[in-house]
Amino acid sequence: MRGGLWQLGQSITRRLANGGDKKAVARRCFATESELKKTVLYDFHVAHGGKMVPFAGWSMPIQYKDSIIDSTLNCRQNGSLFDVSHMCGLSLKGKDVVTFLEKLVIADVAALANGTGTLTVFTNEKGGAIDDSVITKVTDDHLYLVVNAGCRDKDLAHIEEHMKAFKAKGGDVSWHIHDERSLLALQGPLAAPVLQHLTKEDLSKLYFGEFRVLDINGSQCFLTRTGYTGEDGFEISVPSEHGVELAKALLEKSEGKIRLTGLGARDSLRLEAGLCLYGNDLEQHITPIEAGLTWAIGKRRRAEGGFLGADVILKQLADGPSIRRVGFISSGPPPRSHSEIQDEGGNNIGEVTSGGFSPCLKKNIAIGYVKSGLHKAGTKAKIIIRGKQNEGVVTKMPFVPTKYYKPS
């Protein structure tokens, strides 16, 4: 979904508060309630005051009874529990699975130790991003990945098309889409101590980016120490029949400090962490180099290529891209997706792709693309909002320091 979820949340909150009905909200978001898919936690969300909105074909909570600002701050101070079951988890298996996936992504999958993962990008023939994904090497013949809900259909079609060609040449790979599972994201400083109550595994030995299959609250879960907030936390893939039960247990063990949190705060948290939102900050025409994801291209992959669009990407790596993703802090109203960026002389130099008010910093922040050479921190710019120029300055990301749990 394009545009800031934070702004969408504010708009929907005002509309509902002023007596607007939910069906009108659904129509405004280009879907009817009957068309939307529901996660197994749908009734749980509604019972807890979740304001449900259409998102990527699903009915999802944009927020609960507290404001998006309060939810954002509580995640940083205590913790949040998100239902992200709309996202698509899948397993790829077979003795040639690493060779297969490396044809489609920029990561050095072969170099991953078992039980570790990384952010990667699926690229097209022009080097643009089809989607970003967190992939995990469970074993040498089993990879687990999660793709974005809005990209599910095109991602699966892309993987399947290449899998058929790979298998036709004798390659050993198969897949399983985990529609029988739900996905919860537990984030914030209390995430680890609260989750520790529900598992015998010593979570202090599980670091950022690592993966385990283990028992949590009596059911076998896939646990990854990762997230989309910049905080320490976990994504928990749980059998769907145990999803509500696990959500209840996590909230109870936190004694009210970890709260159910919706897509609105999730967007402001990821924006503060300087993370890309596919459809805004990453698109089919944006390469990983332009997006500032050069670090995700493994050293061996830079030397060998072998993935779709490698010629374009490796040329950009050598010569530099013409545009670059940057962060901004700005005055005036919060910038929105597509706000024009100008230099101090009034010349167009780029465009905002995500923007909003930072609850933690109490100021406007944004992500956008500018011409190379104008991307350095401290560069002054003008951001055009409703036809008016507003002061902006290029700022290093993340805007709020990340707190990932890594070995000391």
* Residue 340 labeled ligand binder: no
Structure tokens at 202: 């010593």
Which residues are registered as beta bridge partners of 233? 187
Do residues 269 and 228 lie in contact, with contact meaning Cβ atoms separated by under 8 Å?
A: yes
Backbone dihedral region for residue 353 (phi beyond 0: left; psi -120 to 50: alpha; all else: beta): alpha
- C-alpha triplet 85, 129, 355: angle, nearest 5°: 70
Q: Which two tokens stand for residue 345?
A: 């002389």
Quick count: other Cβ atoms within 10 Å of Cβ 306?
Answer: 12
The CA distance from 175 to 376, in Å, is 43
Give the residue among 283, 363, 345, 350 at the shortest CA–CA distance from 323. 350
Q: Is the peptide bond before 401 cis (omega within 30 degrees of 0)?
A: no
The answer to whether the beta carbons of residues 5 and 264 sit under 8 Å apart is yes
Strand partners, 139: 142
Q: Residue 334 has what DSSP assignment?
A: P
What are the C-alpha distances in Å from 209 to residues 119, 318, 354? 9, 29, 25
In this structure, the number of other CB atoms found within 10 A of the CB of residue 238 comes to: 24
Could you give the 3-state DSSP secondary structure of residue 72?
Answer: helix
Q: Identify whether the C-beta of residue 227 lies closer than 8 Å to the C-beta of residue 234.
A: yes
Nearest Cα neighbor of 210 from 225, 192, 231, 195 is: 225
Cα 112 from Cα 105, distance rounded (Å): 14
Annotated binding site for substrate: 235
Annotated binding site: 235
